[in-house]
């Protein structure tokens, strides 16, 4: 089965330009819905089957969910705790394209999922039911993150920081922008491996 993807803009039609909190929150939810349509266009068996030695589409989604859980949990912590744990930033938060470029460079240097890789699963007796569960869990964590992004103040989202395993400490706004791109990145990795999308702009080492 071939699912055509023409360009990243098809999956992210309204990437934030001003990077306001509401724009990022809305883009997170849009990206989740757009990527879910891609996952649902695959057959259930295609969704759960490994792609050679690489992850299955299901494992990509589970990795996305796993990577968002600590971000969302951290954003629910008291602000004073985050300040004590990770410090503050005096610089202006970088934009979406800057974060994408930083992430691509980290991947080209050999960055991997590490502890955020999905745990191996055995044979899946009900691929369709499993896909529903995997997508529902991902949808729930994206919605929770989007809600947190929308609730944070302009001051705190640009001064408080969170640790990223490959990129170092990012402001909370930068982490939200990375989370947005991270979803697109994994859709494009699967699409490239399947031959649905042809580009060399997205590193494949995940």
Q: Each residue of 130-185: pLDDT tens digit?
A: 999 999 999 999 999 999 999 998 889 999 999 999 999 999 999 999 999 999 89
Give the containing element (helix H, strand E) for 161: strand 161-164
- 204 with 193: CB under 8 angstroms? yes
- Rounded CA-CA distance 23/18 in Å is 8
pLDDT for res 155 = 84
Is this prediction's pTM over 0.85? yes
pLDDT confidence bin for 13, thresholds 50/70/90: very low
User: What is the pLDDT confidence band of residue 11, given thresholds at 50, 70 and 90?
Assistant: very low
Contact 157, 148 (CB under 8 A): no
Nearest to 130 by CA among 49, 40, 58: 58
Predicted local distance difference test score (pLDDT) of residue 7: 46
Higher pLDDT, 109 or 11: 109
pLDDT computed for residue 8 by the predictor: 44
Strand partners, 79: none
As a whole number of angstroms, the distance between CA 162 and CA 173 comes to 10
Topology adopted by domain 8-194: 1.20.120
Beta-strand ranges (E) seen in 17-157 are none
What is the pLDDT of the chain when averaged over all its residues? 86
Give the contacts of 184 (CB within 8 A, at least 6 positions apart). 8, 11, 12, 31, 35
The arithmetic mean of pLDDT across residues 96-125, rounded, is 86
Buried b vs exposed e over 19-46: b needs ≥16 C-beta within 10 Å? bebebbbbbbbbbbebbbebbeebebeb
Tell me the pLDDT band of 204, cut-offs 50, 70 and 90: low
Task: Please name the residues in contact with 60: beta carbons below 8 A apart, sequence gap of 6 or more.
Answer: 186, 187, 189, 190, 206
- Residue 6: the pLDDT is 40
The tokens describing 187, both together, are 């859709």
Q: Where exactly are the structural domains of the chain? A: 8-194
pLDDT of residue 28: 92
pLDDT of the residue at 2: 45
């Amino acid at each position: 089965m071939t699912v055509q993807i023409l360009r990243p803009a098809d999956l992210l039609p309204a990437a934030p330009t001003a990077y306001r909190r509401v724009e990022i929150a809305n883009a997170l939810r849009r990206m989740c819905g757009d990527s879910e349509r891609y996952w649902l266009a695959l057959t259930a068996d295609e969704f759960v089957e490994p792609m050679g030695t690489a992850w299955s589409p299901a494992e990509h989604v589970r990795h996305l969910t796993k990577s968002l859980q600590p971000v969302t949990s951290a954003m629910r912590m008291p602000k004073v705790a985050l300040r004590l744990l990770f410090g503050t930033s005096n610089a202006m938060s970088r934009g979406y394209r800057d974060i994408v470029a930083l992430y691509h460079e980290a991947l080209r240097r050999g960055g991997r999922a590490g502890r955020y890789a999905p745990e191996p699963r055995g044979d899946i007796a009900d691929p369709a039911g499993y896909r529903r569960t995997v997508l529902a869990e991902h949808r729930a964590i994206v919605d929770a993150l989007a809600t947190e992004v929308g609730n944070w103040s302009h001051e705190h989202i640009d001064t408080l920081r969170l640790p990223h395993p490959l990129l170092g400490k990012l402001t909370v706004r930068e982490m939200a922008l990375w989370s947005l791109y991270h979803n697109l990145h994994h859709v494009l990795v699967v699409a490239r491996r399947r031959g649905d999308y042809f580009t060399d702009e997205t590193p494949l080492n995940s």
